[in-house]
């Protein structure tokens, strides 16, 4: 088994919460969606909620299962 596969397997067994800033960035949104889709972590995005939602819609990112905190 490759190292990355071992890391992914461990992430599945003990999912942690990951908090991401700069949440309007499409790369951050894509990574958050991937983590949710692969059940690697629970995701919280920090930033302006309307801006995050707009960016997600613009880049066709599903925010289901992702928690957003507006400071």
pLDDT at 50: 97
**Would you say residue 17 has pLDDT above 80?**
yes
User: For the domain with range 3-69, which CATH number is right: 1.10.3720.10, 3.40.50.10950, 3.40.50.360, 3.90.1150.10?
Assistant: 3.40.50.10950
Alpha-carbon gap, residue 54 to 39, rounded angstroms: 24
Residues 19 and 6: beta-carbon distance below 8 Å = no
Q: Is the entire prediction scored with pTM above 0.95? A: no
pLDDT at 43: 98
What does the angle CA 34 – CA 36 – CA 40 come to, to the nearest 5 degrees?
90
What's the number of CA atoms in the CB half-sphere (13 Å) around residue 49? 7
At 27-69, the pLDDT tens digits run 999 999 999 999 999 999 999 999 999 999 999 999 999 999 9
- Give the residue extent of every domain in the chain: 3-69
Residues 67 and 35: beta-carbon distance below 8 Å = no
């Amino acid at each position: 088994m490759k190292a990355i596969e071992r890391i992914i397997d461990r992430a599945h067994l003990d999912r942690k919460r990951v908090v991401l800033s700069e949440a309007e960035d499409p790369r951050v949104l894509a990574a958050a969606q991937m983590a949710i889709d692969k059940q690697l972590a629970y995701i919280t995005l920090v930033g302006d909620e309307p801006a995050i939602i707009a960016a997600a819609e613009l880049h066709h990112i599903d925010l289901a299962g992702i928690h957003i905190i507006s400071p």
